[in-house]
Amino acid sequence: MNDYYEERPARLYRSRDGMVFGVCRGIAEYLNFSVFWTRVIAVACLFFTWFWPTLVVYFLAALLIRPEPVAPLRNPDDCEFYNSYTSSRSMAIQRLKRAFDRLDRRIQRMESVVTSKEYDWDRRLNS
């Protein structure tokens, strides 16, 4: 099982360790079921439905299910960012840019306080 989920994933993801697009492994991990039997069921469906319906469903699942995160998701903020990134990369990049701009403004304010002449005089007089 994955390191970042104790019992089962909160969402259904395609596994990065799967054989073909990771759909069967992702479903097996989500349902806490054997990967072998999930694949056996998929192959049985493939033969009993004359190939096309199962192939169409499988490839639709491969397109619609998000891939498993590369880095472990340790908290809800990580999950939120990953979900926003996979749904809209430009929005996620804008969100990161806003966060870094806020940090940059805070650092500039701290630098202006520390490098001001008043700070230097206060430090000299209060020491």
**Which pLDDT score is estimated for 127?**
65
**Which pLDDT score is estimated for 110?**
87
Q: Give the mean pLDDT of 98-115.
A: 89
Question: 1 pLDDT exceeds 50?
Answer: no
**Which pLDDT score is estimated for 9?**
59
**What are the helix (H) ranges across the chain?**
23-31, 35-48, 52-64, 76-87, 89-114, 117-126
**pLDDT tens figures, 14-48:** 888 888 899 999 999 899 999 999 999 999 999 99
- Contacts for 14-19 with beta carbons within 8 Å, 24 or more apart? 14/61, 14/62, 14/65, 14/66, 14/67, 14/68, 15/68, 16/67, 16/68, 16/70
**pLDDT tens figures, 39-83:** 999 999 999 988 888 899 999 999 999 888 777 778 888 777 777
Q: Domain ranges in the chain?
A: 1-72, 88-127
Q: Give the mean pLDDT of 84-92.
A: 76
**Which pLDDT score is estimated for 100?**
92
Confidence band of 95 (pLDDT split at 50, 70, 90)? confident
**Which pLDDT score is estimated for 3?**
47
Q: 67: which strand partners?
A: 14
CB 46, CB 54: distance < 8 Å:
yes
**Which pLDDT score is estimated for 70?**
75
